[in-house]
């Protein structure tokens, strides 16, 4: 059954999670205004699946069941699936800023691959367990939070070396009917308003830390789970029309002796495969991040163009304004193009699914992570200072100032002052408020810090192909003009090259 946004909000009432926001216990997640922007954001992924014009992007047929499911829960079977998912994420994020639910997709796809691989190596039955879980999640159209990033403590130490063992989630006890986990996941998107958490390892663990290589599904109101979260977006702020409606809460999730039955355990000590799970999830997730931030780029491009228009400027006549807009477009579409390339050049997995090409997925994510600051700058550049200098929205209704402010703060004659001020506040909200800072940091660190992407690019790039290419050119004698006799130094040509003189001592200074 595909839920609507209203159904989704209602479905949260069936859960009784232990949630704190701003130091207070939340009585009803579905009804707390501080969490509403986050629920609205996820809600877009539900409502859009019911719209005929979006059905090809927002729904898909699951190969293992033949059922139509929400795209955010679908296992990708082809390059076209990856392209559709990328487009779908862009679509829902350009409406909501960040629709969050694509994390469910990314974790399910990582697990689909990793459980198959673990069974193949260890003779376990994780893949069958996972398939049963996947179909249940799809049938109930759930939203899953990804509890991967551990609190980690002292970053120079492995989990087993930490003074406080609870800075990483680990298996504390193995029972006949399941496992008991404890520890802390520090940053979980949408934690209070998920249905379940997928607990996953955030790195490859050493064999002596095998209890930390754990993956399982935990309902958000399981005994022993506490969520300490921050409000989603900018609820109740009159100056932030967009972020008062759409935003994202993140939560610290504490697992305190939480029992997980075997049918919900998908990894329990297999360290190598835990590393594979982390990485495959990361490739899927980084590709999704590309779609999400391209949607954010769409918002900035649209708002920038409207602000230029309201200011009475024509980009066709003013080269510096046009150039800034072209830069903004180029950044957005260049990382999106990496998302497209990572779909087209996808990797087939023995589990019969596909994974985005790691090099392009990581380059795209790295680009957006670092270029997000330029995107903000370009939006500021074309807009002017009013975006942070504008008096608050209460002034719009002050009979003593409203008329005179509207008269002097208008730009182009045929565009009402009110429209110019709305666009100003929209740009402030997305780029210069605490929410604007949030968009920077999620772009930089969400899905892993830039160093993680650089490592994956280096690890996966076919460098040997390039050295072979040049080797072959050299072997074909491209430089010897037919006189090359040997590759050995001193005998490489008829004259014989001499080793260069080493410059030492004073001569080198």
Ligand X SMILES: Cc1cc2nc3c(=O)[nH]c(=O)nc-3n(C[C@H](O)[C@H](O)[C@H](O)COP(=O)(O)OP(=O)(O)OC[C@H]3O[C@@H](n4cnc5c(N)ncnc54)[C@H](O)[C@@H]3O)c2cc1C
What residues are designated binding site for FAD? 189
The yes or no reply on residue 189 touching ligand X (CB under 6 A) is yes
Buried b (16+ CB within 10 A) or exposed e, 46-63: bbbbeeeebeebbbbebe
Rg (Cα) of the chain, in Å, rounded?
27
Give the C-alpha separation, 196 to 490, whole Å: 68
Among residues 3, 44, 75, 146, the one that binds ligand X under rule CB under 6 A: 146
Shorter beta-carbon distance to ligand X: residue 245 or 445: 445
Shorter beta-carbon distance to ligand X: residue 169 or 307: 169
Q: Which stretch binds ligand X (CB under 6 A): 23-31, 132-140, 441-449, 453-461?
A: 441-449
Shortest Å distance, C-beta 496 to ligand X: 48
Q: Which stretch binds ligand X (CB under 6 A): 183-191, 299-307, 425-433, 460-468?
A: 183-191
**Which stretch of DSSP H or E encloses residue 475?**
helix 463-475
With CA atoms as reference, report the closest residue to 7 among 64, 47, 60: 47
Shortest Å distance, C-beta 441 to ligand X: 5
Shorter beta-carbon distance to ligand X: residue 325 or 442: 442
Shorter beta-carbon distance to ligand X: residue 99 or 188: 188
Contact status, residue 94 vs residue 299, Cβ threshold 8 Å: yes
* Number of Cβ within a 10 Å radius of residue 328: 24
- Written as six digits, the tokens of 240 are 């932030």
The yes or no reply on residue 149 touching ligand X (CB under 6 A) is yes
Shorter beta-carbon distance to ligand X: residue 111 or 307: 111
Shortest Å distance, C-beta 362 to ligand X: 13
Contact status, residue 200 vs residue 215, Cβ threshold 8 Å: yes
Among residues 451, 465, 498, 506, the one that binds ligand X under rule CB under 6 A: 451
Among residues 110, 201, 274, 448, the one that binds ligand X under rule CB under 6 A: 448
List the interface residues with ligand X, window 193-252 (CB under 6 A).
Answer: 250
C-alpha dihedral (248, 252, 257, 260), degrees to nearest 10: 30
Shorter beta-carbon distance to ligand X: residue 103 or 179: 103
Give the C-alpha separation, 138 to 367, whole Å: 33
Q: Is 363 exposed, middle or buried (0-12, 13-18, 19+ CB in 10 A)?
A: buried
The yes or no reply on residue 164 touching ligand X (CB under 6 A) is no
The yes or no reply on residue 187 touching ligand X (CB under 6 A) is yes
- Beta bridge partners, 173, equal 180
Shortest Å distance, C-beta 202 to ligand X: 6
Give the C-alpha separation, 316 to 304, whole Å: 15
Among residues 132, 206, 403, 441, the one that binds ligand X under rule CB under 6 A: 441
* 220 alpha carbon, distance to own chain's centre: 21
Shortest Å distance, C-beta 132 to ligand X: 24
Among residues 301, 367, 421, 442, the one that binds ligand X under rule CB under 6 A: 442
List the interface residues with ligand X, window 345-404 (CB under 6 A).
Answer: none
List the interface residues with ligand X, window 260-279 (CB under 6 A).
Answer: none
Shortest Å distance, C-beta 283 to ligand X: 14
Among residues 77, 297, 339, 446, the one that binds ligand X under rule CB under 6 A: 446
Shorter beta-carbon distance to ligand X: residue 3 or 442: 442
Give the C-alpha separation, 5 to 44, whole Å: 7
Give the C-alpha separation, 46 to 6, whole Å: 9
Residues contacting ligand X: total by CB under 6 A: 20
Shortest Å distance, C-beta 191 to ligand X: 8
Shortest Å distance, C-beta 100 to ligand X: 8
- In this structure, the strands spanning 178-189 and 196-199 are unpaired
The yes or no reply on residue 152 touching ligand X (CB under 6 A) is yes
Shorter beta-carbon distance to ligand X: residue 8 or 124: 8
- Written as six digits, the tokens of 239 are 């100056």
The yes or no reply on residue 103 touching ligand X (CB under 6 A) is yes
> Under 8 Å CB-to-CB from 454, ≥6 apart: which residues?
362, 366
Q: What are the DSSP calls for 77-140, one per residue?
A: -SHHHHHHHHHHHHHHHHHHS---THHHHHHHHHHHHHHHHHHHHH---HHHHHHHHHHHHHHH
Q: Is 480 exposed, middle or buried (0-12, 13-18, 19+ CB in 10 A)?
A: middle
Shortest Å distance, C-beta 325 to ligand X: 28
- In this structure, the strands spanning 18-21 and 225-229 are parallel
The yes or no reply on residue 495 touching ligand X (CB under 6 A) is no
With CA atoms as reference, report the closest residue to 328 among 269, 279, 380, 398: 380
The yes or no reply on residue 449 touching ligand X (CB under 6 A) is yes
Point out which residues bind ligand X (CB under 6 A): 103, 146-149, 152, 155-156, 187-189, 250, 441-442, 445-449, 451
């Amino acid at each position: 059954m595909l839920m609507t946004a209203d159904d989704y909000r209602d479905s949260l009432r069936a859960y009784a999670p232990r949630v704190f926001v701003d130091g207070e216990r939340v009585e009803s997640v579905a009804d707390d205004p501080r969490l509403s922007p986050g629920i609205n954001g996820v809600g877009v992924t539900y409502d859009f699946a019911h719209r005929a014009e979006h059905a090809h992007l927002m729904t898909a047929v699951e190969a293992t069941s033949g059922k139509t499911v929400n795209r955010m829960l679908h296992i990708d079977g082809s390059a076209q699936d990856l392209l559709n998912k990328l487009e779908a994420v862009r679509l829902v994020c350009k409406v909501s800023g960040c629709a969050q639910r694509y994390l469910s997709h990314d974790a399910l796809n990582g697990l689909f691959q990793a459980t198959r691989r673990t069974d193949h190596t260890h003779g376990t039955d994780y893949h069958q367990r996972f398939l049963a879980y996947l179909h249940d999640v799809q049938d109930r159209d759930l939203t899953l939070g990804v509890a991967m990033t551990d609190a980690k403590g002292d970053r120079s130490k492995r989990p087993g070396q930490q003074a406080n063992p609870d800075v990483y989630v680990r298996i504390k006890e193995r029972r006949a009917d399941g496992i008991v986990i404890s520890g802390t996941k520090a940053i979980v998107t949408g934690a209070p308003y998920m249905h379940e958490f997928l607990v996953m390892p955030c790195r490859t663990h050493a064999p002596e830390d095998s209890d930390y290589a754990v993956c399982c599904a935990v309902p958000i109101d399981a005994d022993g789970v506490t969520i300490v979260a921050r409000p989603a977006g900018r609820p109740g702020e009159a100056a932030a029309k967009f972020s008062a409606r759409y935003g994202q809460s993140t939560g610290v999730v504490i697992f305190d002796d939480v029992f997980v039955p075997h049918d919900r355990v998908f990894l329990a000590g297999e360290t190598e495969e835990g590393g594979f799970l982390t990485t495959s999830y990361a490739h899927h997730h980084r590709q999704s991040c590309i779609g999400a931030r391209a949607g954010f780029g769409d918002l900035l491009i649209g708002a920038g163009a409207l602000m230029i228009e309201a200011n009475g400027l024509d980009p066709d006549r003013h080269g510096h304004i046009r150039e800034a807009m072209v830069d903004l477009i180029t950044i957005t579409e260049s990382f999106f193009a990496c998302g497209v390339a990572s779909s087209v050049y996808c990797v087939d997995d023995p589990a019969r699914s596909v994974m985005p090409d790691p090099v392009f997925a990581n380059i795209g994510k790295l680009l957006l992570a670092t270029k997000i600051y330029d995107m903000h700058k370009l939006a500021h550049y074309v807009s002017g200072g009013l975006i942070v200098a504008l008096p608050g929205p209460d002034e719009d209704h002050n009979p003593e100032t409203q008329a005179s402010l509207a008269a002097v703060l208008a730009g182009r004659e045929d565009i009402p002052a009110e429209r110019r001020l709305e666009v100003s506040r929209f740009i402030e909200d997305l780029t210069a408020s605490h929410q604007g800072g949030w968009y920077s940091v999620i772009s930089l660190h969400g899905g892993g810090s830039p160093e993680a992407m650089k490592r994956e690019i280096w690890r996966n790039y076919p460098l040997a192909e390039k050295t072979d290419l040049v080797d072959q050119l050299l072997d074909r004698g491209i430089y010897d003009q037919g006189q090359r006799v040997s590759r050995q130094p001193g005998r490489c040509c008829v004259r014989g090259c001499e080793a260069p003189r080493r410059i030492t001592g004073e001569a080198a200074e």
